[in-house]
Structure 1
Amino acid sequence: MDVDAPTNLLGAFIFWAYIAGALASTGIVLNTIRQSYLDNGRPKIPAFLAILALSSFATLSYHMLNVLILSYQQWTVRYSIPLGALIGANRTPLHLWQWSTTSSLFQDFGEAIVANKPRYLLSSSGLWSTLAVAAYMGIEGRRYNVPNLWAFFALLEILPTSFAQTLFYIMLCTKSQPVNSNHQILSYWPFWYSVPLLYNYCLSKAPEYAGEGEWLIYTILAARVLLVLPLVLSLRSLSGQAPVTSPNTFQHVATLRLFTFSMAVQYLTHKRIADLGPLDQMSSVLLKAFNSHPAVQALSYDLLHSAVAFGYWMLRKENVHPIIDQGASQQKTLPKSRR
């Protein structure tokens, strides 16, 4: 079947690579969790996290499938192609390859989430949660020596936030931690603070490029690339800290500063777009925006799952002791042995 439209083989490759990458990353992450679980004496994993991970995956799959269906429907209307049906008496083939090479799926997704202020407010809140999770995974993942940490970041890059986030929390529950050990307090000034600033710049520019074709895609792509920085930016271990018994981010001063700074940047960003009319009508405006497009629904539901997972992880009562950097401990005790 010939479609009178420019062919974008690179876009089609990225789309199918996204699907393959999501499946591969999920498999690697689940196998990493399973191996850690078996190697460390089958520690208890909170059932709530497992249920939340399944709910996140199911909700995400449903709404992202609706995004793809809507894109395909719009594509068939644009080029006067029969919609197609896999079952029933009027079965016709689905032209998935032609759709992937001639549609503008990624651009349509970007245009949908920045189409107006209410949509952008909901969507950008979900995107900011992705940055917060990336920073947490980059710090805690290396402090806990999580194997295959890159796979968790790959999953975070490909899919919305909460699925990779919840699996990361489950991974931390399987790690072996010696009793009576101190936390590694990690210092990362000043380069880590540039990440939320650059991320904010990309998100702020995105609405300006709505309707301008590839510029919107480049801006979104730049924001996604920034999410990798917490995996590769250097960290410095600070020794001699008092022992603590909880993995709460709020008990790490350096992390608290970064968290507060990122929240302040997000607040100032949203303050500029929060004028949605009278306060008593804001809920109805946001609800209308929420139901206006499956892309907005996908990010909004993902934000809800992410907030619930984060709240549970911060408030959980179990005592967890992370592994101390042996190199730092040896350096600290070396001068004493020379005496």
Structure 2
Amino acid sequence: MVGLTSEEISNLPIHYRSITMFIGYLSLITLFTLIICRTIVSRFIARQKKNDWAHPQRRGQFYIFICLAIASIGSTWFHMISLFFYSYDTWASGPEGQLYSGADVPLFTRMGLWLNKTYIFQEAWETVSESPERVWWSGQIFGWTIGWSLLLGITGRRYHIPHVWIYMLVAQAVSVSFAANLFFAAITVSQRPSATDPLYAWRPALIWEFIPVSLSILDTLAVPIFAYEKGFMLILLAPHFLVFIPCVLGPRGSAAASKPKTSETRQLEEGYRATRRYATSIKWVAVASVALQGYLTYLVVEDFGPDVSYGEIVREVLATVYAHPACSSVSWDVIMCTISGVAWAVVHGFDEGAMLGGL
């Protein structure tokens, strides 16, 4: 193939907008992660100085979730970075890329051409949605996110975690398991909730949580159906936005201030009822997620047909983890979410109230 002349290279467009958006994305997720870490570090220092940990084992729990956060970011973003290289190599081996990806073309120009022609994240989600075996993994991440959004809302309010929505944003932009472990770490270094705190017993009207959660679960079923279709990104982004709603709900300042004072016993009773309601809601989300996973498992078995043994199906589903960098990133996020969720339950002795910040 004939290479480009110096004049043709100099006349190649530099897609500053595409490059700026990509660098801006990486910069923003770094900034938001640092904001979260600042809260965690400041509260850890406060607990160390005052020695007022909410539980004698909290310090050890803090290190557990910090280690899990490191494992989460390492396992998911090793494959995410691999995805960036994979996407570039795919473009470079295509008709246009072969012409423009030579070493004689400046790196900045090549990056702009690649990013301008490639929709990395849309292609990644279409890739993990294109077969039942891949959806078996990718569908689980929606279930984890939906359930965690409820826990994020109530525990974030009770422990006065600032800017709770940032954790959900990091979950969407980085990985759910990474953000969840940072949130768990933030809780372990926070003071124990007080029954006299208005936020301890406050709960929103059920409709404000029921509708976003229900729509998110239904939308999870629609994502693989619309892969490679025109409206795919709209279907994909809908649950990503809906799960923000439970974690940003809270009483207005004036409403909280005007609420009549009640006794500590009454506050404890109201807080207990709020905890029970959330525990029930999360159980129903878990039931819906299990039912959804059962349906996805049925689709996998149907896709392979009756002549394939269950052992072979299991091997193929596990092999899907490394079928593509996008599959690897999502699958490892699911694995780390499972490990982190079990760890959160274990350190609280599987007590629902304790896991939700109850007294």
TM range (shorter): 0.7 to 0.9
Equivalents in 1 of 2:193, 2:315: separation in Å?
51
Q: CA deviation at 1:243?
A: 8.8
Gaps of 5+ in 1: 245-250, 325-339
CA 1:240–1:55: 2 relative to 1, 3 Å = closer
Q: Which amino acid aligns with 1:117?
A: P
What corresponds to 1:28 in structure 2? 35
Q: Which has the higher helix share?
A: 2
Q: Is the 8 A contact 1:134 1:227 kept in 2?
A: yes
Structure 1: 4+ residue segments shifted above 4 A: 1-5, 11-14, 81-85, 178-183, 234-238, 317-324
SS of 1:176's partner is coil
Scaled by the length of structure 2, the TM-score of the pair is 0.75
Residues 1:98 and 2:113 aligned together: yes
Q: For 1:215-254, list aligned pairs within 5 A.
A: 215-234=231-250, 239-241=267-269, 252-254=275-277
Q: What is residue 150 of structure 1 aligned with on the other side? A: 165
Residues 28, 243 of structure 1: CA spacing in aligned structure 2 closer, same or farther, 3 A cutoff?
closer
User: SS where residue 29 of structure 1 aligns?
Assistant: helix
In the superposition, relative to structure 1, how do residues 216 and 35 fare at CA in structure 2: closer, same or farther (>3 Å)?
A: same
Preserved CA contact (<8 Å) 2:16 2:112: no
- Separation (CA, whole Å) in 2 of partners of 1:261 and 1:234: 22
Q: Which residue of 1 aligns with 2:341?
A: 310
Of 32, 41, 64, which aligns to 1:48?
64
Aligned to 1:282: 313
Shift of 1:27: 0.7
Q: Which runs of 5+ in 2 are unaligned?
A: 1-8, 54-58, 260-265, 302-308
Residue aligning to 1:297: 328
Task: Tell me, yes or no, if the aligned pair for 1:50 and 1:170 is still in contact at 8 Å.
Answer: yes
> Which residue of structure 2 aligns with residue 162 of structure 1?
177
Partner-residue secondary structure (3-state), 1:273: helix
1:247 matched residue in structure 2: none
1:157 deviation in Å? 2.4
| Distance across 1 between alignment mates of 2:20 and 2:244 | 21
Give, in whole Å, the separation in 1 of the partners of 2:75 and 2:142. 17
Separation of aligned partners in 2, 1:323 and 1:274: 35
Q: Distance in 1 between matches of 2:343 and 2:246?
A: 23
In the alignment, is the contact (CA less than 8 A) between 2:154 and 2:356 conserved in 1? no
| Paired amino acid for 1:93 | L
Q: Is the 8 A contact 1:126 1:302 kept in 2?
A: yes
Paired residue total: 312
Q: Which amino acid aligns with 1:281?
A: E
Aligned AA (1:204): L
**What residue in structure 1 maps to residue 228 of structure 2?**
211
Residue 142 of structure 1 aligns with an amino acid whose one-letter code is R
How far is 1:298 from its partner? 0.8
Deviation (angstroms), 1:255? 1.6
More moved, 74-83 vs 102-111: 74-83
Paired residues of 1:45 and 1:174 also in contact (CA < 8 A): no
Residue 321 of structure 2 contacts residue 327 of structure 2 at CA under 8 Å; is this kept in 1?
yes
Give the aligned residue type for 2:221: S
Aligned mates of 2:185, 2:170 — CA distance in 1: 15
Instruction: Compute the displacement of 1:82 (Å).
Output: 6.3
Secondary structure at 2:323's aligned position in 1? coil
> 1:133: which partner in 2?
148
CA RMSD of aligned residues (A): 3.5
